Structure 1
Amino acid sequence: MRKRHLVVALGLLGMLCVPAHAEARDISRETLAPNDGWAAADGGTTGGAAADGAHVYTVTDRAGLVRALDGGSDTPKIIKIAGTIDANTDDDGDRLDCADYATDGYGLKKYLGAYDPRTWGSAPPSGPQEEARKASAARQAERVVLPVGSNTTIVGLGSKAVLKGGSLQVSNADNVIIRNLELRDAYDCFPVWQPNTGGLGDWKTAYDTLWLRGATHVWVDHVTASDKGHPDEKEPTYFARNYLRHDGLLDITNGSDLVTVSWSRFADHDKAMLIGNGDTATGDRGKLRVTLHHNEFESVVQRAPRVRFGQVHLYNNRYVVPDDAHDYRYSVGVSTESGIHAENNAFHTPGHIEAADLVKSWNGTALHQSGTLFNGYPVDLLAIYNAYNSGSERDLTADVGWTPTLHTKIDSAGTADREVARGAGAGRTP
C-alpha cells in the first residue's frame, strides 16, 4: 500500500510540475530567416518587429483593424487578428450587403439591359447605369479596401483567424509580414462589363484578397486564400460569360519586388496569382523577384502563378486538380520576359488532364524545370511542352538567365508533397 501511495504522490507531483497547457508560440515579432527566398535579400524582412508596446494591437472587428492599420502609415506596428473580421460591416459592426452599397439608381437588371451587346454593341459601358455602378462600387471600396503600410506585421491568433470580404492592399510600401491568416471571399458587388476583353467580352472585378502593388520586402506565410462562401462557379452567366465576383487571391504587380510566399494555401478559385500585370510594363524589368515555396494550389483554374518579367523561384509546391475539374486551364504561365526556375514540384490531376496541360506560354521563352512529379511519376515539363506544342508555338528554353541562391532546404518533390499537404495554410503551426 505504501508503494502504491508513493507512486500516486509522485504522479501528482509530476502533474504539478508540468503546466496544463504550453504557452502558445508568439509569432508576431518573428522575422524572415536569412536566405528564405527573395524577401531575404538586401537587408531582409522584419515587418513590425520593432514596434513599441503602444503599437501592438489585438483586433476583433473591422473598426479595430482600420484603427490599427492607421491608414497605411509607416509606423512600426504589430496587428493580431482574433476570430473572424468581416470587412462588409458598418461602423457599428452591422453587416452590409450589396443592396446597402447600391446608389444613384443602380440595378443589375438595369445594367444588363443597358449594355446588352445585342443592342449596345462593343463600346465600353457609359451613361447613367455605368456611372451608378461606379458610385456604388466606390461605396463598397470604402469598406473593404484595407491599406497596409510599411513596417507592419499582421498575424492571426490561433487556428481560426479570418478576414472575410476584405482586400488587403500593400501599395508602395516596404517591409511587411502577413502570417497565419485566412483571407476569404473578397466579393465584388459591382463587376464591370468589358465588351472587348478576350474577344468575347468578360466581367472585370476589383478586389484581390491580397494585392502587392509597388511593394518591396514582403513575406506571406501560412496564409489561406479562397473564395469560400461565394464560389464563382455558382454565379450566373450574363452575356454568355460567367458573372465573376472575384479577382486574384494574391497578385504581385506594378514593380513589386523581393517577395517570399511560403507554406500557404490557395484554393477554390479561378485566377489565383498574377506576377506582373502587363506585357508593356517594361519598368518591371529587374523587379518582380519572387520566391514561392511549400505552397498548395488546390482547385485553382489558372495562374499558379502567371509571370511577366519577374525572376520567380518556384520550388517544393503542391498542385491538386480535383476529379470533377471541367474548366482547368493551366498551372504555370510563362509570359513576357519571365524567368521561372521551377524545382521539385508535385502535381496531382485527374486522367483527362495531361502533363502538357500544366504549362502555358504567352510570349514567354524560358522555363527551367527539374525534379517534377506528375501523379507520382517524374516528368520533364519543358520537354513535354515543347513536344506537345511543336509546330504551333515556339519552343521554350531552359536558360532563364539566372540561378537561385536564396532558398531554404529543397526537398524532393515527394517529400515536399507530403509535408505541404500536412502543413500549408492558416491554422497550421508555422
Structure 2
Amino acid sequence: MSLLLLLVVLTFSKCKKGSDVANPESPLTTTGATLAAVNSPSGIQTLNVSKAASDGGFSYKVYDLPVTGDSGSEPSLSKMKVFENGKELGAAHSNHADIRTIGKGRFSHWLNALYLSASDNTDPRTNGRTYTYSIDGSTSSVAKPPVTNPITPPVTSPVGSDAIIGYASVDGKTTGGLGGPTVTVTSFAALKSAVSSNTAKIVMVSGRITGAGFVNVGSNTTILGVKGSSMEGVGLLMYGTSNVIIRNMTIKNVVTYSNIVIKEGAHHVWVDHCDLSSDRNHGWDYYDGLLDVGNRADYVTLSWNRLHDNHIPMLIGFGDQNTNDIGKLRVTVYKNYFYNVSERQPGTRFGYMHVFNNYLQNGSGYGVGATMGATVRTDNNYFENQQYPIYTEYNAKPGFISGASTNIYKNSGANKISTSASTWVPTYEYKSELIPAANVPAVVTAGAGATLSL
C-alpha cells in the first residue's frame, strides 16, 4: 500500500509545465470550448478560437485536440505548429506562466489542450484573425489563409445623452443607486454617512464641502453634484465596491490621495462630467493624481471629465509588479479634456483601454502611455502641444497601440511606439458616439466638466 502511494505521489510531482501544475480537468469532457476542425490529424486545420476559454492574462485555452501533446514525462513531444494569418507563432512548448504574463505568440500543446496567446496579446476570440494549426508539423498551405475582418461587436447599450458607453456596460450593467431613495448632503460628515452602505441610494451633493482625506463609497450608489457644488480636500474612493455612478462633481486639491480612486477589484463604475484639479505649483510629490484605476479594478467608463492643473492626472494600473491586473483593467476613456498637465493622459499598464475623442492640450511629457503589455485602442483623439503624444517605452516593458493613425497631432512631437501596431478593437458599440478628430476641441471644451444642470 505504501509503495502504491509513493508511485502516485511521484507521478503527480512530474505533471508540471514549468511552474504550472497541469490542469486537473479532463479536456475531453470539458464543454463549451471545443475545437472546430479535428477530423484529420494531418495537414492544416482551422481553430475556432471564438469558443476558446480564457486561461488568465494573455493565455486562451482550446480543448479536445485529436492528438495528445506534451506531458510531465515528455515535455517536448508535440510537433504542433500554430499560425496567425499564416505567420507561424511561437515559441512552442512555452511555460504556461509565460504564456499568461508575456504572451506574444507563445503557446503550449499540453495533453489534449492548446494554450495560446496572440502575437500582440490581443484576445484571439475577437481580434479578427484566422488561426490555423498542424498537429504533424506541416507548414504547407498556410502562406495565404483566409483573413477575416474584425468581428462587428454587438450593441451593449443604447446611445443617448445619459447612456453609459463602453466597459461600464459590458458583462453587466452600471445603474448606481437606481430605485433607491434620494438624499441631499451639504457636509463632509453627512456625505460619508450617506454613501457608506451597499444598499441602493442617490446622493446629491450641494454647496461647498471641505475636509481632508477620502470618502469610502459603497456599492449601488449614485453621487450627483448639484449645479455650483464643489468638494475641496476630499476624495472619493471605490475600494472593492461595484455599480457606482459619479457625475457632475467638482473636486480639487486633494492631498495624499487622488481625487477619485477605483481599486481593489472595484467594477462597473462610471465617472462622468466631473471637474478634477489641483495645481502644479507644489511639485510632483505634493498632490497625487486626479482619476486613478488599479489593483484588479475592471469594467470602468470615464467620460466627459475635465482633468487639469496636475502633473499626473490619470493612471490605469498602479505598478509594474501588479501582474494580478492581467485580465482586468478594462477601461473606456472618452471625450475627456486634459489640459495644463505633465503626463498620464492616461498612463496605462496591463489592461485593455479604449481611448477615443479626448482632447489633450499642453502636456509637457507624454500623452497616452501604454506599458507592461497594456493594449490601448486610440480613436480620433486630438493631441495639441504634447511632447510625446503616444509613448510605450518608459516602464520595464512596452505596451501595444492600435488606431494611432486616426488621431490629430498639432504642434506635437513624434509618437514613441516601440511595438508593432495592434489591431485590437473593443467589443462594444461606440461608432455612433465617435466624432471626427477635427471636431474634438470644440465639442469637448464645450461639454466636458461639471456642466450638467442637476
Asked if TM exceeds 0.5, the reply is yes
Task: Give distance in 2, aligned partners of 1:320 and 1:290.
Answer: 21
1:399 matched to 2:399: no
Judged with a 3 Å threshold, the aligned counterparts in structure 2 of structure 1 residues 376 and 316 are, in CA distance, closer, same or farther, namely farther
Task: Give distance in 2, aligned partners of 1:62 and 1:149.
Answer: 16
Give the match's secondary structure for 1:75: coil
1:263 matched to 2:315: no
2:372 equivalent in structure 1: 336
Cα pair 1:78 1:154 within 8 Å, conserved? yes
Relative contact order, higher structure (CA 8 A, sep 6+): 1
Cα pair 2:333 2:355 within 8 Å, conserved? yes
1:216 matched to 2:250: no
For residues 24-35 of structure 1, the aligned pairs below 5 Å read 33=163
Q: Which runs of 4+ in 1 moved over 3 A?
A: 400-404
Task: Give distance in 2, aligned partners of 1:397 and 1:163.
Answer: 43
Cα pair 1:232 1:245 within 8 Å, conserved? no
Identity in percent: 34
Residues 40-62 of structure 1: CA distance to partner in whole angstroms, max 9, x if unpaired? 112211000120x3xx2101111
Residues 354-384 of structure 1: CA distance to partner in whole angstroms, max 9, x if unpaired? 5x4543423114111232112289x9x6xx4
For residues 20-419 of structure 1, the aligned pairs below 5 Å read 33=163, 36-51=165-180, 53=181, 56-69=182-195, 72-88=196-212, 144-158=213-227, 160-187=228-255, 206-213=256-263, 214-227=265-278, 231-233=279-281, 235=282, 242=283, 244-321=285-362, 328-349=364-385, 354=387, 356=388, 358-361=390-393, 362=395, 363-368=397-402, 369-375=404-410, 384-386=415-417, 395-399=418-422, 401-407=424-430, 408-419=432-443
Deviation at 1:416, TM superposition (A): 2.4
Deviation at 1:32, TM superposition (A): 6.2
Deviation at 1:428, TM superposition (A): 4.2
Give the match's secondary structure for 1:422: helix
Residues 119-155 of structure 1: CA distance to partner in whole angstroms, max 9, x if unpaired? xxxxxxxxxxxxxxxxxxxxxxxxx221001000000
Using the size of structure 2 for normalisation, the TM-score is 0.60
RMSD value, Cα: 2.3
Give the match's secondary structure for 2:273: strand
Cα pair 1:38 1:406 within 8 Å, conserved? no
Cα pair 2:377 2:401 within 8 Å, conserved? yes
Judged with a 3 Å threshold, the aligned counterparts in structure 2 of structure 1 residues 400 and 245 are, in CA distance, closer, same or farther, namely farther
Query: Which residue identity is paired with 1:367?
Result: I
Judged with a 3 Å threshold, the aligned counterparts in structure 2 of structure 1 residues 78 and 373 are, in CA distance, closer, same or farther, namely same
Larger relative helix fraction: 1
Deviation at 1:397, TM superposition (A): 1.7
Using the size of structure 1 for normalisation, the TM-score is 0.63
Task: Give distance in 1, aligned partners of 2:230 and 2:310.
Answer: 17
Task: Give distance in 1, aligned partners of 2:423 and 2:352.
Answer: 8
> How many aligned residue pairs are there?
290
Cα pair 1:313 1:404 within 8 Å, conserved? no
Deviation at 1:406, TM superposition (A): 3.7
Cα pair 1:32 1:219 within 8 Å, conserved? no
Cα pair 1:32 1:44 within 8 Å, conserved? no
